[in-house]
Structure 1
Amino acid sequence: MLDGLRLAVTTFTVAPVRGGRVDRATAGAAMLWAPVVGAALGAVLGAVALGLRWAHAPALLGAVVVVALGALGTRGLHLDGLADTVDGLGSYAGPERALEIMKKPDVGPFGVAAIVLTLLGQVAAIGALPTATVLPGLVVATATGRLAVTWACRGGVPAARPSGLGALVAGTTSWVPAAGLTLLVAAAAVWATHRHWPGPVAVAVALASSAGLVRHAVQRFGGVTGDVFGACVEVAATVTLAGLAWASA
């Protein structure tokens, strides 16, 4: 589990943590640690957002800073995965050709549009969160984004390629610990809005959106890849933020 925590930290953040053993057992543990690592990252981002609010920074400007720090804190890895996944899906090509498109270093128009719209959505949502709930809101959103990966790695979801991150972690988690982590995140989400109940609903909708993406990726690509996991992070986190902002309006 300790090696899994190290792998989760190095996979989902830029924190300078020494790596440990890397195998399927460690990868499975890392995918269970993922929501915890996400919550920790969200706490840092939430503290920054709260500090900017207390410094009377404009809400949207502060949101831009927070989103930028979030991208830096993850090396932009998940945004890159989102862009590659959308390019692959948008190509309407067969599985092999779509996977080739996803491996290319350039970003197509679908990918660019996905990144721009996602970042705009995150900035708008964070800017709309009340000061009292911006910290718990960011904790819940970043945890939900990584929880989506935990669910995407459950047994029965195949890898699209025989090697790579997707092959390493696909099928390494089960629904029992994933469900337990979901209950914890949903419980924390109660405090992410003034009315309490919309928080868990936002988490549920976000995970359902990610599950739909995974199902579509399996149908189109034959399985999941590291890029699909990155897309799950961004989709789930953005939908959660949007739901929390909507509930706070």
Structure 2
Amino acid sequence: MLLDAWRLAVGTLTAVRVRPPANVDRRTAGTAMVIAPLAALPLGAAVSVVALLGHWLHLSTLVTALLAVGAVVLGNRAFHLDGLSDTVDGLAASFDRERSLAVMKTGTSGPAGVAAVVLAMGLQAAGLAALFGRNHWWQAAILAGLVVCASRAALAMCCVRGVPPARPDGLGHTYTETVPVPVAALVWVIVAVVLAAAGGWAGLAWWRGAVAAVPALVVVGVVLRRAVQRFGGVTGDVFGATVELSLVALLVALS
């Protein structure tokens, strides 16, 4: 089961080619979302490598940060950015639940969605540039990669019990309400501890990493509450939106 969960998480959240899982049930899906930060390690490694290359090639920190953001986008096929765009478009389209869900399902990006993506990517690049410009540059490069992985902890919150699906089909049947609340809480505690340790190692105050997890968790909670109020629950697009906004919150807090 754990191997199937690992393959599901890596195959869904990254562009890395893995063998399809032999069985995908609710237990496997829930486990896949719990280990999502580990499955995102290839994306984190890509960010760290780009940061190191940028330093050695004497690129500006902003250019390096934009390239790092691009590496993440390529590494997950813009999966989460698409979710952010569709979610914001759905929220902006109408107060009618069915109308909002229909807009989200079209797959096209409206003005609100485009603005959200541009703002999110801009804040991510600015946050990464702030990290890359620190004196402990190679430690900061590794910290940036860990932050990308940590942002995927948002997915455990999306699947926590008590957060219903917006539709009976799609992700609703397999993924939602598969993660117990204590397990989701443990995931975020681990994220806070790892970021605190990595942040201290990278020259930040030891508490900065732990504190950064708080606004990220709050942002995810706000998005989920809004999705339940407006859509009746979560969709795959909401999953992606929480990941992108969690990454924004973590990077802004650490910058």
Classify 1:30/1:178 alpha carbon distance in 2 versus 1 (closer, same or farther; 3 Å): same
- Equivalence for 2:46: 44
- Equivalence for 1:18: 19
- Equivalence for 1:178: 184
SS at match of 2:40: helix
Is there any run of 5+ residues in structure 1 with no aligned partner, and where? none
- 1:100-179 matches, cutoff 5 A: 100-129=102-131, 130=134, 131-179=137-185
SS at match of 1:223: coil
- Equivalence for 1:85: 87
> 1:155 touches 1:174 (CA, 8 Å); kept in 2?
yes
Q: CA deviation at 1:141?
A: 2.2
> 1:125 touches 1:241 (CA, 8 Å); kept in 2?
yes
Q: CA deviation at 1:132?
A: 4.4
The C-alpha deviation readout for 1:18-41, integer Å capped at 9, x for no partner, is 111222121111111111122442
Measured in 2, the distance between the counterparts of 1:19 and 1:118 equals 31
- Equivalence for 1:238: 248
Measured in 2, the distance between the counterparts of 1:208 and 1:133 equals 27
* Matching residue's letter, 1:7: L
Is there any run of 5+ residues in structure 2 with no aligned partner, and where? none
Q: Please report the RMSD computed on the Cα atoms of aligned residues, expressed in angstroms.
A: 1.4
* Matching residue's letter, 1:236: S
Pick aligned residue for 1:226 from 204, 213, 236:
236
Counterpart check, 1:8 vs 2:9: yes
* Matching residue's letter, 2:106: K
* TM-score normalized with structure 2 length: 0.92
Classify 1:188/1:40 alpha carbon distance in 2 versus 1 (closer, same or farther; 3 Å): farther
> 1:50 touches 1:134 (CA, 8 Å); kept in 2?
no
Runs of 4+ in structure 1 over 4 Å off: none
> 2:87 touches 2:237 (CA, 8 Å); kept in 1?
yes
